[in-house]
Structure formats: structure tokens, C-alpha cells
Amino acid sequence: MAIYWILFIGIAVLSYLAQWNVKRKFEKYAKMPLDSVMTGKDVAEKMLHDNGIYDVTVKSTRGMLTDFYNPADKTVNLSEAVYGSNSVAAAAVAAHECGHALQHAQSYAPLKMRSAMVPVVQFSSNIVTWVLLAGILLINSFPQLLLMGIVLFAMTTLFSLITLPVEINASQRALVWLNRSGLTNISNHGAATDALKSAAYTYVVAALSSLATLIYYILIYTNRRS
């Protein structure tokens, strides 16, 4: 188990560094204006319309780096620092979220799979901690409870793994469109790429963390009689 704890602490440090790096990169590239006067909202609407999507609404949402695409009501929700900002960071984030809208419109398989898992993952997330805790306490008398917790946690791990291609593909779509539309150029396209790659690392670390934790619980279950 000592090896696991070393791995767990290492992943926790990587997670902190990845989150810190995203924030640092966003603040850096938020100071780099686009050559055009377009805001994050304008960028999002242009990308949607350029791709023939007119039934998605671009909205402002509170918070920092709280941007997301909601397939349920077809809205691209941009944080305040992105919605009204004329910067490379805002353009990259807005285009990334519109990448999800394109995935939705084109029935991108990993996105459909992730969306289908949302209700199950929400249910699992609400109870999995308590099931795992009770399962560990009752490991010898009722091992099936821990096994149930492992199955529930495996669903959240699978969700994290499926999220990786969804996020990476959305960034690829965003960068291709930004370059093709001329909103980014040789002087700032690298900054947009750097910002989105930094964000992608957070999903990679989250998936690794979830996978490591799942393995830990499996080891507890398989070694329960050792």
C-alpha cells in the first residue's frame, strides 16, 4: 500500500499544479488582445454560425473558468471573464465550448456516451463515498457492500476516461476553426494552443487520480483476507 500512497500523493500534487497552471495561463493570455474587436460571446456565435448551428444560445455565467456547454438546453455558457473579453484566452475558451456544440450537432460518439452516463454518475457520486466507507468497515462480515461501492466508483472512473477524448476533440475543433477563420494568426495561435493544452492536462490528471483510487479500493477488496 506504501507504493499506492506515494502514487496518490504524486497525483494530488500534479492535480494542484495542473489547476494552478491553467489559472496562470488564462491570466497570461487574458492580457493578450485579439487583432479583431470580437469578444468571447462574438467568437462563440461566429463559430456556431460558421458551422451551420443556429439553435444554440450563448449565455453569460458567474465565476471564473466556469465555462461549459449544456446539451440539454443547447446553451454555451461562458464565464464573465470570457463572455465580454477581447482576448486570446477568451477566444480559445469560447471556441472550445462551441467545439462541444459541434460534437452534439454531429452526434460525436464519445459525447453521446458521456451524456448518457450523466444520470448514473450523478447517482453514484451522491452515495459512493458512504457505500465505500461502510464497505471498508464491514469488509469481513459484508464484503459485497465494498464490491458495490467499487462498481459505483468504477462508473465515475469510466466517466473521467470518456471525458478525455471529448475534451481533446473539442479543443482540436476549436483550434482548427480559430486558425481557419483568421481570428488567431502566427503571432497568437500558439498562445491559444497552449491555453487549451493546459486545460486538457487537468482532465488527464483527474482521470489518473480516479483510476488510481479505483485500484486502491480493488486492492482492499482482494486483500481483505490477507
In tens, the pLDDT along 71-104 reads 999 999 999 999 999 999 999 999 999 999 999 9
Contacts of 5 (CB under 8 A, 6+ apart): none
- pTM higher than 0.85, yes or no? yes
For strand 75-79 and strand 57-61, is the pairing parallel, antiparallel, or unpaired? parallel
Alpha-carbon torsion, ordered 23, 63, 119, 18, to 10 deg? 10
If one compares 27 and 5, the residue with the highest pLDDT of the two is: 27
Confidence grade of residue 1 (pLDDT, cut at 50, 70, 90): low
**Any catalytic annotation for residue 97?**
yes
E strand intervals along the chain: 57-61, 68-70, 75-79
* Edge-to-edge strand list for the sheet holding 75-79: 57-61, 75-79, 68-70
User: What pLDDT, in 10s, does the model give residues 10-27?
Assistant: 888 988 999 999 999 999
pLDDT at 11: 82
Q: Which of 27, 80, 97, 167 is catalytic?
A: 97
